[in-house]
Amino acid sequence: MNGAGKGGALDLSTGEIAVFGVGGVSDHGIVDMNWKNFAPRLGISYQVTPKTVVRAGYGWSYALGTFGSIFGHNVTQNLPVLAIQDVNRPNDFSGVFTLAQGPNPPEFPKPGSNGRFRLPDGVSGKARPNPLRLPRVEAYNVTVQHQLMESVTVEAGYVGNVGRHSFTGDGPSFNVNAPAFVPGVADSSIRKPFFQKYGWTQGIDYYCNCATTKYDSLQTKIEKRFSHGYGVIGHYTLSRGVQDHDDGYSFLYNRPLGRGVNDFDRTHIFVVAQNFDVPFGRGRAFGSQMGKPVDVILGGWSLNAITTVYSGLPFNPSFDNPDPSKFIRPNAGPGGRPDRGTGDPYAPDRGRNQWIAKGLGGPFLVPANNAFGNYGVNQLRGPRLFQQDLSVFKNFKPTERIQIQIRAEAFNVFNHTNLGMPNSNVTSSDAGKINGLAAAGGEDALGLMRRMQFGFRFVF
């Protein structure tokens, strides 16, 4: 239930929690809302010839800022409503607490007459900028559509958008108190920006809505509307989606190093869907006068097929630091980012046994002392995905009032093996190996091994 004292906002300029509705703090908190969210729309359509049309559009849209970037988490999961504390055992041979006793309850500080109190060290906090920024998308497109024949049309267009004030990575926040990169300083607390100001060693989730995204694509389509027993629609998309990633330090301290294609980006996407009525049987081009017994067996067959081809998903190479005591940098150790070297990063015979080059040297180098690895985000690509789905239908009417349909459907009918992502750690003994299949069901059941299902429908 809403009310005074039931929400708290962290003010990074003072290090204090402002308690809603207490003292001089408004019931709405300390953050101002930006009411100047202009959202223009423009659409144009022009018929060049009787068979050719050009369409263009441009518009802004705003998001609600889910998961706390506008309200929610950053108000209701701060003191004095909620505290998250780390409880550690005093030594390796002691427990933290017994189940009968439980942990010591956190101390909830009391706000002063001004409705504020200093956030204690060790208690995580959530903050947002002032004024609030609503995530915005600027979308634009230009498309040309042309009719080739009576039932056949083709389209080609540029479709893109830019996201402003969006999440970092998959969002919604990043740690604004992550340790900075200071050569030669091993103590991570000293390298935390808010340790210097307020003595905080804990992480601070910053819901800033301060990243950007960009999407550009060429989208083409050919469509034959269903006629004379056949219909097909085919799509090809050439695209690139870029965003600001957050790996714990790059967005805060080296933003260009964390900018790259989306984790789900696929450069090429090709999909064709076809429907075909076998032209044999009652009411069709051939054998329309055949008797019912023969039509029950030979007539009324239909085929549907969907062909899907995707290019591979992106991933990052990594390495294990060969000498952890030698390198003092945020990306040292497992999962570190190498430097870009020379040569092809992919194996000569790219396959499940070796997808990328193995070991340090050549395309993957150890960064210099006290330096970030400069290999860009998501520069490498995994295996492509191919799938052919097929369904067979049989419709017949034993009587005028009864209709029966039997159907058989096969997903990945050729049982094509769609490989998963390779081991990206170039210093691992399994470097470059692929030990699994594409994530089953991750994209509308794409990537599964062959599945078959059968159905029967009776209408009366």
Q: pLDDT of 127-141, one tens digit each? A: 988 888 889 999 999
H helix or E strand, kind and range, residue 391: strand 385-396
Domain with 173, as residue range(s), is: 52-62+127-459
Contact indicator for 245, 258 with CB cutoff of 8 Å: yes
Distance CA(66)–CA(61), nearest Å, equals: 15
In a domain, 178, yes or no: yes
Q: pLDDT of 322-345, one tens digit each? A: 766 655 455 544 557 889 999 999
In a domain, 417, yes or no: yes
In a domain, 447, yes or no: yes
In 39-125, which ranges are continuous DSSP H helix?
73-76
Does the pLDDT at position 1 exceed 60? no
In a domain, 30, yes or no: no
Contact indicator for 133, 35 with CB cutoff of 8 Å: no
What amino acid is encoded at 409 in this protein?
E
Distance CA(377)–CA(371), nearest Å, equals: 16
Q: What is the residue-averaged pLDDT of the chain?
A: 87
In a domain, 91, yes or no: no
Contact indicator for 112, 18 with CB cutoff of 8 Å: no
In a domain, 454, yes or no: yes
In a domain, 85, yes or no: no
SS (H, E, C) 320-359: CCCCCCCCCCCCCCCCECCEECCCCCEEEEEECCEEECCC
> What percentage of the chain has pLDDT greater than the value 70?
92
Peptide bond into 367 cis (omega under 30): no
What is the SS3 assignment for 358?
A: coil
Domain count, the chain: 1
Q: pLDDT of 403-441, one tens digit each? A: 888 999 999 999 999 999 999 999 999 999 999 888 754
What are the φ/ψ torsions at residue 363 (nearest 5 degrees)?
-75, -20
Q: pLDDT of 234-286, one tens digit each? A: 999 999 999 998 877 778 888 888 899 999 999 999 999 999 988 877 667 67
